Structure 1
Amino acid sequence: MYSGNYIQGTIFPAQTFDPVMDAQMLGGALQGIDCNKDVLIDVLTQRCNAQRLMIAEAYRNMYGRDLITDLKETLSHHFKEAMVGLMYPPASFDAHELWHAMKGAGTEENCLIDILASRSNEEIFQTKEAYLMQYDSDLLQDIYSETSGHFRDTLMNLAQGTRQEGYADPAMAAQDAMVLWEACQQKSGEHKTMLQTILCNRSYQQLWMVFQEFQNISGQDIVDAITECYDGYFQELLIAIVLCMRDKASYFAYRLYNAIHELGFHNKTVIRILIARSEIDLMNIRQRYKERYGKSLLHDIKHFASGHYESALLAITAGDAEDY
């Protein structure tokens, strides 16, 4: 069912907050001969994003330097990626991840899928603005040049950010369900285009009805039908759209489990999801993770990560409810 349940992150605004004092603590931690990583973790994971941006401004006023630059120059490896990632506003962080997914050696398709299949129209609009500002590049043009085929077409459609909102029409739902069913039977280019158009542009409320109608017509769940009929990243993207419509927390729980267990702890994916969802629904993701896989997300992080990197991931994930 389309989930309207209470959603909760793991990071909240600090109740007693002094950005100048925090900036001093970070400056002291970064300037010493030995960087005090514990202080970085204590400050940056226990403040919400808006507060971290205020700390960065106070840091610049105090030291005349950019906090992100100092973090990058002082830290290393995955711990650096986690600490630096916390300092970006949400749209800037998404833009950063999309840029690096396309501009590295080879395209990281799953990053594109995770972000574009799960974000609202407003989030996508803000990310496109941030992408242009940070990289002087157009997100749609980069997607076009770095991907191909119906996978590219679907990403381009999602990146338009033109999904209907709050609109539901039972008669159209029945029609759309027939189109989806035909698309799974025929698999022609034209049918693939119609399929992705429906999945990318109908409101979540509308898609909920469409998938019910599809089940009635075909006797099959839409995810099973897509899995049978299509393959590759096009299939993965279509399924991600459906799963995010149904329950984003379950989708990200699945992606984290896959990144941790199937890919041998894929650090980029783990860091990206934990940071991006930390103030939205990471507590819900933890709950879905434990329900579905039997072990807590915190347990699996402890098992596969180590040192200050482990401490940082645990601090982001734990919130005020540790559940090992």
Structure 2
Amino acid sequence: IFCSQYMSWTRNYGVQGTIFPAPNFNPVADAQMLAGALQGFGCDKDTLVAVLTQRSTAQRLTIAEAYQSVLGRDLIGDLREKLSDHFKDVMVGLMYPPPSYDAHELWHAMKGAGTEENCLIDILASRTNGEIFQMREAYYLQYGSNLQEDIYSETSGHFRDTLMNLVQGTREEGYTDPAMAAQDAMVLWEACQQKTGEHKTMLQMILCNKSYQQLWLVFQEFQNISGQDIVDAINECYDGYFQELLVAIVLCVRDKPAYFAYRLYSAIHDFGFHNKTVIRILIARSEIDLMTIRKRYKERYGKSLFHDIKNFASGHYEKALLAICAGDAEDY
């Protein structure tokens, strides 16, 4: 009953994920199935996919508790020990609650060899104030480190300033002021023309702090004032990760699922299948808007996300990705 009510609620309110709570859920039985699948020298990967990709995050966490209680073992630890490569990344990634998963991705993006700037962009340009607050808390609890301080030390310039603004999680919510929108649009236009440090700061302050509803008005006014789309203007005037971050914010304001469809397409086609990006987006958006992302992908690129995953992934890694994408509305 809960599952059907949840699915009805998500559809009524426009949340288009692909993973929902499983009906007739029995965490002890699932824990025992996973334990059997992980025993011995090999493991039953089909069972791992069948269980972990068909349970909600809350249910997976309950399974992990049952696994610890019944078997006295840590499920994530066993998954890490028994699995390898990208299949392991998917199965382990599914076991994190969303704030912890974002924290995990940000930590590894900054603490590895070099900084993976596109991971910082994808996460911080798209999360709500509440999600950012929870992510900061999870980051500190998991790593004993301050997210803001790590971003400050690992990035630089106006790219860093914009990330630091976003990670505060202080964007206005629901507020609109048409008169102010015209003023903000003029500031954006001047910032694209003059490109001084002061203008860059004003540009990122508007994009990071105004509500999504207000920014819709600002972008319309910008088009009226300049005769140019705001994304085209940013691309012409700026470059590097600062430019990519600004564009990501604009695209997320306009249509967040379309932004992630674009990022998936780029990760699959422009980088020879950038596994980290594909895994991160599919897991992070699976209970939020992955079904809508799939639809945007098909509309914009002419081929389904399933088709492109099949062309580049293989084995149980492919099965896991496809299972996360599947949902219940369409065939592969």
TM-score bracket, normalised by the shorter chain, equals over 0.9
One-letter amino acid of the counterpart of residue 60, structure 2: R
The residue number in structure 1 matching 2:120 is 112
- Is the CA contact 2:106–2:120 (under 8 Å) kept in the aligned structure 1? yes
One-letter amino acid of the counterpart of residue 103, structure 2: A
TM-score with structure 2 setting the length:
0.95
- 1:299 is the counterpart of 2:307: yes
Q: Displacement, 1:80?
A: 0.1
The residue number in structure 1 matching 2:30 is 22
Matches within 5 A, 1:241-280: 241-280=249-288
- Counterpart CA distance in 2 for 1:299 and 1:318 is 12
Q: Displacement, 1:63?
A: 1.3
The residue number in structure 2 matching 1:103 is 111
- Is the CA contact 1:181–1:218 (under 8 Å) kept in the aligned structure 2? yes
- 1:142 is the counterpart of 2:150: yes
- 1:208 is the counterpart of 2:216: yes
- 1:157 is the counterpart of 2:165: yes
* Aligned counterpart in structure 1 of residue 47 of structure 2, from 35, 39, 45: 39
- Is the CA contact 2:182–2:221 (under 8 Å) kept in the aligned structure 1? yes
Matches within 5 A, 1:166-185: 166-185=174-193
- Counterpart CA distance in 1 for 2:40 and 2:30 is 16
Deviates more, 1:28-37 or 1:70-79: 28-37
One-letter amino acid of the counterpart of residue 96, structure 1: H
Q: Displacement, 1:323?
A: 3.9
The residue number in structure 2 matching 1:84 is 92
- Is the CA contact 1:120–1:161 (under 8 Å) kept in the aligned structure 2? yes
Q: Displacement, 1:32?
A: 2.7
- Counterpart CA distance in 2 for 1:33 and 1:147 is 43
The residue number in structure 2 matching 1:52 is 60
- Counterpart CA distance in 2 for 1:72 and 1:263 is 26
- Counterpart CA distance in 1 for 2:72 and 2:100 is 22
- Is the CA contact 2:42–2:82 (under 8 Å) kept in the aligned structure 1? no
One-letter amino acid of the counterpart of residue 229, structure 1: C
Q: Secondary structure at the match of 1:264?
A: coil
Q: Displacement, 1:320?
A: 1.6
One-letter amino acid of the counterpart of residue 77, structure 2: T
CA deviation digits over 1:29-53, x for unaligned, max 9? 0113320000000000000000000
- Give the count of matched residue pairs: 321
CA deviation digits over 1:129-150, x for unaligned, max 9? 0000000000000000000000
- Counterpart CA distance in 2 for 1:121 and 1:181 is 27
- Counterpart CA distance in 2 for 1:233 and 1:34 is 43
- Is the CA contact 1:298–1:323 (under 8 Å) kept in the aligned structure 2? no
Q: Displacement, 1:194?
A: 0.2
- Counterpart CA distance in 1 for 2:14 and 2:152 is 37
The residue number in structure 2 matching 1:63 is 71
- Counterpart CA distance in 1 for 2:15 and 2:301 is 20
- Is the CA contact 2:258–2:293 (under 8 Å) kept in the aligned structure 1? yes
| Structure 1 residue ranges without an equivalent (≥5) | none
Deviates more, 1:143-152 or 1:25-34: 25-34
Which gives a bigger RCO, structure 1 or 2 (Cα 8 Å, sep 6+)? 1
TM-score with structure 1 setting the length:
0.98
One-letter amino acid of the counterpart of residue 214, structure 2: Q
- 1:308 is the counterpart of 2:316: yes
- Counterpart CA distance in 2 for 1:33 and 1:183 is 61
One-letter amino acid of the counterpart of residue 239, structure 1: V
Q: Displacement, 1:87?
A: 0.1
Question: Pairwise CA RMSD of aligned residues?
Answer: 1.0
One-letter amino acid of the counterpart of residue 32, structure 1: G
Q: Displacement, 1:5?
A: 8.0
Q: Secondary structure at the match of 1:6?
A: coil
The residue number in structure 1 matching 2:233 is 225
Q: Displacement, 1:228?
A: 0.3
Q: Secondary structure at the match of 1:118?
A: coil
| Structure 2 residue ranges without an equivalent (≥5) | 1-11
* Aligned counterpart in structure 2 of residue 9 of structure 1, from 14, 17, 20: 17
- Counterpart CA distance in 2 for 1:321 and 1:169 is 39
Which runs of 4 or more aligned residues in structure 1 lie more than 6 Å from their structure 2 counterparts after TM superposition? none
The residue number in structure 1 matching 2:246 is 238
* Aligned counterpart in structure 2 of residue 199 of structure 1, from 190, 194, 207: 207
One-letter amino acid of the counterpart of residue 22, structure 2: A
Percent identity between the aligned chains?
A: 81
